[in-house]
Structure 1
Amino acid sequence: MKILILGTGGTIASAKTEDGYKAALSVEEVLDLAGIERHDGFEIESRDILNLDSTLLQPEDWETIGKAVFGAFGEYDGIIITHGTDTLAYTSSALSFMIRNPPVPVVLTGSMLPITEQGSDAPGNIKTALTFAKKGFPGVYVAFMGKIMLGTRVSKVHSTGPNAFQSINYPDVAYVKGEELVIRHRPRLSRGEPGFDPKIDSDVAYLRLTPGLSPEVFLAVANKAHGIILEGYGAGGIPYRGRDLLSAVSEVAREKPVVMTTQALHGGVDLMKYEVGRRALEAGVIPAGDMTKEATLVKLMWALGHTKNVDEVREIILTNVSDEIGKKS
């Protein structure tokens, strides 16, 4: 059995400098400091493809990572990506859409404390990722704090604590206890010939609905974007009293996709529940259902990379690709 570990930088590979923590270590150095054995009934190989704080990662880097993963499928039984935590959930979602039918486990992991610091969570997270890469099943996943989570369902929910990631509106896939892998839920992932489909359009605007958001601001932003995500309240809806944001959204939605997600962490969007939500549906808004914010953003970019037709984008957004969406409205 052969496992490939790809390094992209992040906190896990950071060292302290005069300017604060900075990604500096190779993935090989990270593995050495984590005490990972290269030959323990299986072989580990490593390769650095990036070495960046994940705040600096751009959508173009998702394709770089995806190419490295896809190109390794014929040679390795599992692939691990060490990654910074700030944008890890965006990358895991992007790889889930770009890489069709991965034949092996692809596991992203990182740490909240650098491997160079005492008490770092890096060794434990790497060992969790290794256990799933060896014993798990194909797909894109995130390993953190002993948990395995589906790549399209994970969000960062804490900025400093070690249990920083949570599976949203979806059960954890598995957990690791010692060397034991305990499966909790098998995702509904398609099977077939592996493919790589990295086409995206990153000209997407993400706006948070707040009391007083003016139609003029919305239109100014929408004018510069190919698609808009509106992060609404609760189950979803758009105000039309006073400042008539709904009319502005309706105007834009005829020409460009407007997708609604929610500021609430759990539960998702249900635009059929309230009158304000039903009016949003009538205006042409596309509901994100129970997708995470990260998956919603990346999926819209991926959809727009394939078509600019609003109806076709709507169909892609509402279609389950990598078990990222369940509830629809």
Structure 2
Amino acid sequence: MLSKPTILLVYTGGTIGMVKNFETGALKVFDFKKLLQRIPELKQLDCNIQTVSFDKPIDSSNMDVSKWAKIASIIENNYDFFDGFVILHGSDTMSYSASALSFMLQNLKKPVVFTGSQLPIGDLRTDAKENLITAIQIASLRHKHQPVIQEVCLYFEYKLYRGNRTTKISAEHFNAFTSPNYPALAESGVHLKVSSEQLLAESPDNDFTVSKEMDPNVVIVKMFPGISEAVLAAIVAIPGLKGMVLETYGSGNAPSEDWFISILKTAIANGLHVVNVTQCSGGSVNMGHYETSTMLKEIGVISGADITTEAAITKMMYLLGQDISNTDFKTLFETSQRGELS
């Protein structure tokens, strides 16, 4: 008889781990060791659940590279002892964290599922229970004694997405996330339906490793009509700046004025990595399709294709943390590492 899969639940912070004091209305973190008392339905799942929590759970607005390294370390230290991991996280920066972890966890062969909620776990109308129960169920899925999911995912409101393909679209609705350029990996209804053809292909038989070197000397610049020469010049002159994600119009278009191209050309020549992503909610950068993006391509701006801004900035941090040349950086960025671009 096969043993039940064992899932490690990692609480970093966020609304999902809160309970409300019904007298004062204030929210407070509840003791995750008493999780089964709070959600007795978990006992019906065909798996064993253990929990670990950040010593001081954080609002996800305070997430940073050191805390990504902490999550990665928890997974690394427990990788051989658990069959899957569910990361409970605040929704505001969850897409950034899921993207970052997808790059940090190399040769991953087990599920890492991020989830959270819009309402606290003790709220009468909470979405926390369904998100948590199904995320654990997904992390427990097996086929021929192997995990069905072998990548970093995000589960929210009946849909499982590839983590580095997601973006948060609503601060109010339970359906808070979308994956604009890649289909859902699974959908929860009366039955849990997994789209096997959408899953990341199994990684080679290399050992699981964790890369915690993430370089935060990066910036996101969103194009807008009227952006000034002084502002862009000041940004590229930031001491220690190594990378810029440029959110451009449509399929990768930006101003074609001489000053704009000149600033970027000089910055790139001085070693700044500039990646072009679209500020549209869906679609892809196609530099050279219009005249206004041809010059960007010629001066060495890197194409982000259909990558999300969240995945672009975390991939940039990850690649900058590796010891690679400028030429290799461009090649690696424009090549899918974890299914983050098509």
TM-score normalised over the length of structure 2? 0.89
Question: Which of residues 266, 280, 287 is equivalent to 1:251?
Answer: 266
Q: Structure 2: any 5+ residue segments left out of the alignment?
A: 142-147
> What are the residue-to-residue correspondences of 1:180-259 with 2, within 5 Å?
180-183=192-195, 185-188=198-201, 190-192=203-205, 193-224=207-238, 225-241=241-257, 244-254=259-269, 255-259=271-275
Name the CA shift for 1:183/1:240 in 2 (closer, same or farther; >3 Å): closer
CA deviation string 1:50-88 (max 9, x = no partner): 511100111110010011012211111111010000010
Give the secondary structure class of the aligned counterpart of 1:300.
helix
Work out which of the residue numbers 281, 298, 302 in structure 2 matches 1:282.
Answer: 298
> What is the rounded CA distance, in whole Å, between the counterparts of 2:204 and 2:188 in structure 1?
25
Q: Deviations over 1:168-210 (max 9, x none)?
A: 2001011123463433522235233211112111010111111
1: CA distance, partners of 2:111 / 2:334 = 26
| 8 Å CA contact retained: 2:256, 2:295 | no
Q: SS of the residue aligned with 1:201?
A: coil
Alpha-carbon separation, structure 2, partners of 1:19 and 1:85: 24
Find the counterpart in structure 2 of residue 27 from structure 1. Answer: 32
Letter in 2 for 1:5: L
Question: Is the partner of 1:9 in helix, strand or coil?
Answer: coil
Q: Are residue 260 (structure 1) and residue 276 (structure 2) matched?
A: yes
* SS class of match (2:164): coil
Distance (Å, rounded) in 2 between the aligned partners of 1:29 and 1:9: 16
% identity of equivalent residues: 30
State the partner residue of 1:87: 93
Which amino acid in structure 2 is aligned with residue 257 of structure 1? H
Q: Deviations over 1:202-229 (max 9, x none)?
A: 0101111111112221121112221111
Match of 2:127 in 1: 121
Cα deviation for residue 312 of structure 1 reads 2.5
TM-score of the aligned structures, taking structure 1 as reference length: 0.92
Q: CA offset at residue 38 of structure 1?
A: 4.3
Residue identity opposite 1:187 in structure 2: L
Correspondence list, 1:1-329, <5 A: 1-16=5-20, 24-29=29-34, 32-38=37-43, 40-49=45-54, 50-135=56-141, 136-178=148-190, 180-183=192-195, 185-188=198-201, 190-192=203-205, 193-224=207-238, 225-241=241-257, 244-254=259-269, 255-307=271-323, 309-326=325-342
**In 2: Cα distance, 1:29 partner to 1:187 partner:** 35
1:4-50 Cα offsets, whole Å, 9 max, x none, are 10101101113458998656224334554333434743211111025
> Offset of 1:166 from its aligned partner?
0.8
CA deviation profile, 1:229-254 (whole Å, cap 9, x unmatched): 1111111122133x731211111111
**Change over 3 Å in CA distance of 1:21–1:104 after alignment to 2:** farther
Aligned-partner Cα distance in 2 for 1:116–1:286: 46
